[in-house]
Amino acid sequence: MISQDIFENCVMRAALAPTVHNTQPARWTRDGDVISLFCDTDVGLQVGDPTGRDAALSCGAVLEGMALALSAHGLGAQVTETGRNTAPGQGLVPVAHLTVRDGPEDRLHAHLEARFTWRGAFEDAPPVLYGWTRSDTRFVLSQGEREWIAARNDEASLAVMADGAFRTELVNWMRLSDTHPRAGRDGMDRAALQMTAAQARLVPWALVKLWPVLSRLGLAKTLVSEVEVTSKSPLIALFHRDISESAVTSGRAYLRLCLEAASLGLAGWPMAALSDHPPTCDAVYRRFGLPPDRRFIQAIRFGRPTGAAPPRARRPLAEVLR
């Protein structure tokens, strides 16, 4: 039987997976050799993720993290997804049950600690991919295509940010001061957002209170613009999965994509607006010829970061065990 120590070690390693806004919705229980994963839909994004797809994708990434962490102990898991909807506001929703058994080590687990989101400039050099390919990912390397994506990303971000409730929810998940009660535990902190203390103090003003004025003056677009860094990102990955697949299964593959990149020394910076904003999503399908039976899940900038990984904010064990 899996010991409590190993279970807790695997829970903490699984929690290193990326989650939307760093909400970390995954919760765990264990009954002997059966581990259950729940989604805490009360931390779901009412505005940014009303269907709970991003929450399910995030839980899937954590689930894959658990499978990888178990493999480091010579354990495997037979996974049964519940197929339950994870829309916000339903409390704890069961996502999957894992029956633990013996299994081979999956060396990808070694990169769980190395992966992080990098929201800054990347080294200005073509990435060395050592023949890396994935059937579920279109790698965009050409300058022209990256510039096209960079321009669409700015347009889509501006369109998504036009919704005041979206901006308020986003700011509520930012931990802009070190004294925020949740700093270091969840959400996106100042260092992860690559902001100075002075910039961080301005964020609630710029994104919430003054936005309508800034928008009327045509200044809002400069606030959200990432065109410079996006067009200079050495690699943009367009991650797409079978349209009929569950978001949890897609999330499992998403973590593997991010870990494979980490194994090559690449950090990622997602551009969720490209897939979340329907007209832009359609434009990406057309431009890159993505077939209709594939779901464009996310575009991610990848490159070698020009600085060290920011400190990681994660919930303590007591918050994720039930």
Ligand X SMILES: Cc1cc2nc3c(=O)[nH]c(=O)nc-3n(C[C@H](O)[C@H](O)[C@H](O)COP(=O)(O)O)c2cc1C
Look at residues 187, 181, 156, 175 and name the one whose alpha carbon lies nearest to residue 277: 156
Q: Which of 10, 57, 67, 238 binds ligand X (CB under 6 A)?
A: 57
CB of 224 to ligand X, least distance (A): 11
Question: What DSSP character marks residue 152?
Answer: H
Stretch that binds ligand X, among 40-48, 50-58, 158-166, 217-225 (CB under 6 A): 50-58
For ligand X, the closer CB: 101 or 182 = 182
- Rounded CA separation 145/149 (Å): 6
CB of 142 to ligand X, least distance (A): 23
Q: Does 88 bind ligand X (CB under 6 A)?
A: no
Contact indicator for 237, 139 with CB cutoff of 8 Å:
yes
Q: Does 280 bind ligand X (CB under 6 A)?
A: no
Tokens representing residue 97 in the block = 């049950």
Q: Does 296 bind ligand X (CB under 6 A)?
A: no
Neighbours of 205 (CB within 10 A): 11
Residue nearest to ligand X (CB): 18
For ligand X, the closer CB: 35 or 273 = 273
Question: What DSSP character marks residue 110?
Answer: G
Q: Which of 7, 28, 38, 116 binds ligand X (CB under 6 A)?
A: 116
CB of 292 to ligand X, least distance (A): 22
For ligand X, the closer CB: 119 or 138 = 119
Contact indicator for 262, 118 with CB cutoff of 8 Å:
no
For ligand X, the closer CB: 77 or 255 = 255
Q: Does 22 bind ligand X (CB under 6 A)?
A: yes
Q: Does 272 bind ligand X (CB under 6 A)?
A: yes
x/- mask, ligand X, residues 171-210, rule CB under 6 A, reads -----------------x----------------------
CB of 217 to ligand X, least distance (A): 25
Neighbours of 186 (CB within 10 A): 20
Cα angle for residues 180, 181, 184 (degrees, 5° grid)? 80
Number of residues located near ligand X, criterion CB under 6 A: 18
Query: What is the tally of helices (H) and strands (E) in the chain?
Result: 12, 10
- Rounded CA separation 214/128 (Å): 41
Stretch that binds ligand X, among 6-14, 40-48, 57-65, 281-289 (CB under 6 A): 57-65
Q: Which of 41, 86, 117, 280 binds ligand X (CB under 6 A)?
A: 117
CB of 280 to ligand X, least distance (A): 13
Q: Does 19 bind ligand X (CB under 6 A)?
A: yes
Q: Does 240 bind ligand X (CB under 6 A)?
A: no
Q: Which of 7, 14, 26, 58 binds ligand X (CB under 6 A)?
A: 58
Tokens representing residue 103 in the block = 């299994």
- Rounded CA separation 168/160 (Å): 12
Residues in touch with ligand X (CB under 6 A): 18-22, 54, 57-58, 61, 116-117, 119, 188, 269-272, 312
